[in-house]
């Protein structure tokens, strides 16, 4: 049985696209909008440095763990209903997080945001596919959608800085209520109506994936306080790995798995997922570390901090555009492996960071290099990840690429934050020098990871692997 969809006619289709694009923008910007507000929120709610990464990872972790499940739910209940439900839930969880009286409530609200984002994201892509059936219009629609989605990170940083400075950090979360309300009002009339179909929904697999990721991230964050060999680190870490193994076993045995393991069997595709996850470690790690460096060490305002990150995002967009033109003729590994190495060079520059380091002389070139490298990784990696698959698996392959990205952000942020705190606590200099030393140490380890993965990807990506097989 297949779902039936009544696509809107005429200009209504483009109004529907506007609603879908706004929803996706909200999902994307919420991965970064709280970064700039984090130092202010930390002072307001009085949580420590070991806990701060949870404000970011709670969102990306639940998003990653539930994304595949969200796609299945959208198929079952209908794409329009999934989108509308996701908007309502995202608004409510944003209000909860914005009004949070404590760190725990803030993290719970962020986790709920990620869960509802995991429902909206796959529904958005599906709605475009069924709304725009003519090839030329579909290409234009996906182009608009992609441009809006890719601007989410920079929009989040700038909007977060402005709201924190002029309205208060809580408005970085309350603003979603206003955006979602507008999208709901217009979407109730513009989004195409359609029924779902009785697709099996493996809730257990979704729970296993999310719980496993949460356990690993919790263990990594506890290492900052108790050390890597502590039972409070090893027990949740091993529990998370065990849950991950159970998830993979269930995918192998289930009649309708959330993640068909055949997708990962292709060496080039698996390498592309690895590259995607690893590249995010560099950007998310920089967002967290440099936010505190800008505001705590250099004394930047929240808005100044958001503006300071602009070159990184411009570099990512420019490099992605170049990669999209090159990848039609060059093998993916010619772009991806060098891209990881360029990003590693940028992170290595940050190991020279000191309290006296200038923005233009050190931080700016480092950010530009990381941005250029990450842009060279993203586009061809996602192209390889989604090419050459059975058309029935195309959606799952794309969702897995997004999941890999969120996993990289979650685990990478938690681990780098722990490394930074550990290095800071063992440093004998001034408080500012200790903070900078911690950040420099963490970025050094991130650079090492990118170099190792670049070597793995260079071997794993087939020399013939293009993005248009």
209 and 192 in one domain? Answer: no
Note the pLDDT of residue 199. 66
33 and 172 in one domain? Answer: yes
HEC secondary structure over 172-212: HHHHHHHHHHHHHHHHHHHCCEECCCCCCCCHHHHHHHHHH
Per-residue pLDDT tens for 103-134?
Answer: 999 999 999 999 999 999 888 877 877 777 77
**Number of structural domains the chain divides into:** 3
Cα distance between residue 288 and residue 40, in whole Å: 13
Q: Give the CATH number of the domain where residue 405 resides.
A: 1.20.1250.20
* DSSP conformation class of 8: P
Q: Kindly report the pTM of this predicted structure.
A: 0.83
Cα distance between residue 36 and residue 288, in whole Å: 8
pLDDT at 437 over 60: yes
Cα distance between residue 306 and residue 358, in whole Å: 17
238 and 99 in one domain? Answer: no
Distances (CA, A) of 94 to 30, 118, 289: 10, 15, 24
For 371, residues 6+ apart whose C-beta sits below 8 A from its C-beta are 283, 311, 312, 313, 314, 315, 316, 318, 319, 346
Per-residue pLDDT tens for 182-200?
Answer: 999 998 888 887 666 666 7
Least confident of 93-102, 146-155, 222-231, 297-306: 146-155
For 150, residues 6+ apart whose C-beta sits below 8 A from its C-beta are 28, 317, 320
Q: Are 82 and 123 in contact (CB under 8 A)?
A: yes
313 and 187 in one domain? Answer: no
127 and 2 in one domain? Answer: yes
Cα distance between residue 147 and residue 269, in whole Å: 24
pLDDT at 378 over 60: yes
Per-residue pLDDT tens for 335-360?
Answer: 999 999 999 999 999 999 988 888 99
Question: Phi then psi for 258, rounded to 5 degrees?
Answer: -65, -40
b or e along 151-182 (b: 16 or more beta carbons within 10 Å of the residue's beta carbon)?
Answer: bbbbbbbbbbbbbbbeeebbbbbbbbbebbee
280 and 159 in one domain? Answer: no
Pick from 93, 100, 96: nearest CA to 41 = 100
For 185, residues 6+ apart whose C-beta sits below 8 A from its C-beta are none
Can you tell me whether residue 35 is helix, strand or coil? helix
Note the pLDDT of residue 300. 93
Pick from 252, 118, 105, 72: nearest CA to 173 = 105
249 and 306 in one domain? Answer: no
Least confident of 249-258, 318-327, 443-452: 318-327
Cα distance between residue 230 and residue 228, in whole Å: 6
Question: Phi then psi for 6, rounded to 5 degrees?
Answer: -100, 105
Q: Would you state the structure tokens that stand for residue 452, as one six-digit string? A: 């190792």
pLDDT (mean) for 25-30: 88
400 and 335 in one domain? Answer: yes
336 and 420 in one domain? Answer: yes
Of 163, 179, 200, the residue at which a domain comes to its end is: 200
pLDDT at 72 over 70: yes
Containing structural domain, residue 251: 203-255
328 and 238 in one domain? Answer: no
Per-residue pLDDT tens for 309-335?
Answer: 999 888 888 888 888 788 777 888 889
How far, in whole angstroms, is CA 196 from its chain's centroid? 28
pLDDT (mean) for 422-445: 88
Q: Would you state the structure tokens that stand for residue 316, as one six-digit string? A: 């990512």
158 and 15 in one domain? Answer: yes
238 and 175 in one domain? Answer: no
Note the pLDDT of residue 442. 92
Cα distance between residue 261 and residue 252, in whole Å: 7
């Amino acid at each position: 049985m297949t779902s039936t969809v009544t696509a809107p006619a005429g200009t209504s289709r483009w109004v529907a696209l506007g609603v879908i694009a706004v929803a996706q923008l909200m999902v994307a910007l919420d991965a970064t909008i709280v970064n700039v507000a984090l130092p202010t929120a930390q002072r307001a709610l009085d949580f420590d440095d070991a806990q701060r990464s949870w404000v970011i990872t709670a969102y990306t972790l639940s998003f990653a763990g539930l994304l595949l499940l969200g796609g299945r739910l959208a198929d079952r209940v209908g794409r329009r209903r999934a989108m509308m439900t996701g908007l309502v839930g995202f608004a409510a969880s944003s209000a909860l997080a914005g009004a949070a009286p404590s760190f725990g409530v803030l993290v719970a609200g962020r986790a709920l945001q990620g869960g509802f984002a995991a429902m909206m994201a796959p529904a958005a892509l599906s709605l475009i596919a069924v709304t725009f059936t003519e090839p030329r219009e579909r290409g234009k629609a996906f182009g608009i959608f992609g441009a809006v989605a890719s601007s989410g990170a920079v929009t989040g940083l700038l909007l977060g800085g402005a709201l924190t400075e002029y309205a208060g950090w809580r408005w970085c979360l309350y603003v979603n209520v206003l955006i979602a309300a507008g999208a709901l009002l217009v979407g109730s009339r513009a989004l195409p109506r359609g029924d779902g179909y009785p697709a099996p929904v493996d809730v257990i697999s979704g729970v296993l994936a999310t719980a496993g990721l949460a356990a690993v991230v919790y263990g990594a964050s506890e290492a900052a306080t108790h050390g890597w060999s502590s039972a409070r680190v090893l027990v949740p870490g091993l529990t998370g790995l065990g849950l991950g193994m159970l998830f993979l076993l269930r995918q192998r045995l289930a009649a309708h798995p959330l993640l068909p393991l055949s997708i990962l069997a292709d060496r080039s595709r698996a390498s592309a997922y690895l590259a995607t996850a690893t590249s995010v470690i560099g950007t998310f790690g920089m967002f967290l570390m440099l936010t505190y460096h800008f505001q705590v060490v250099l004394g930047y305002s929240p808005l100044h901090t958001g503006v300071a990150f602009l070159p990184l995002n411009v570099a990512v967009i420019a490099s992605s555009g170049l990669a999209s033109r090159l990848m039609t003729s060059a093998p993916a590994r010619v772009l991806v492996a060098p891209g990881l190495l360029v990003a590693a060079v940028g992170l290595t520059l940050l190991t020279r960071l000191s309290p006296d380091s200038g923005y233009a002389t050190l931080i700016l070139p480092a950010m530009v290099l990381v941005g250029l490298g990450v842009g060279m990784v993203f586009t061809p990696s996602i192209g390889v990840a989604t090419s050459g698959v059975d058309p029935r698996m195309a959606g799952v392959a794309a969702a897995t690429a997004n999941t890999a990205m969120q996993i990289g952000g979650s685990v990478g942020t938690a681990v780098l934050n722990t490394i930074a705190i550990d290095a800071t606590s063992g440093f004998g200099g001034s408080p500012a020098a200790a903070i900078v030393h911690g950040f420099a140490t963490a970025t050094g380890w991130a650079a090492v990871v990118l170099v190792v993965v670049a070597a793995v990807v260079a071997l794993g990506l087939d020399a013939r692997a293009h993005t248009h097989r």
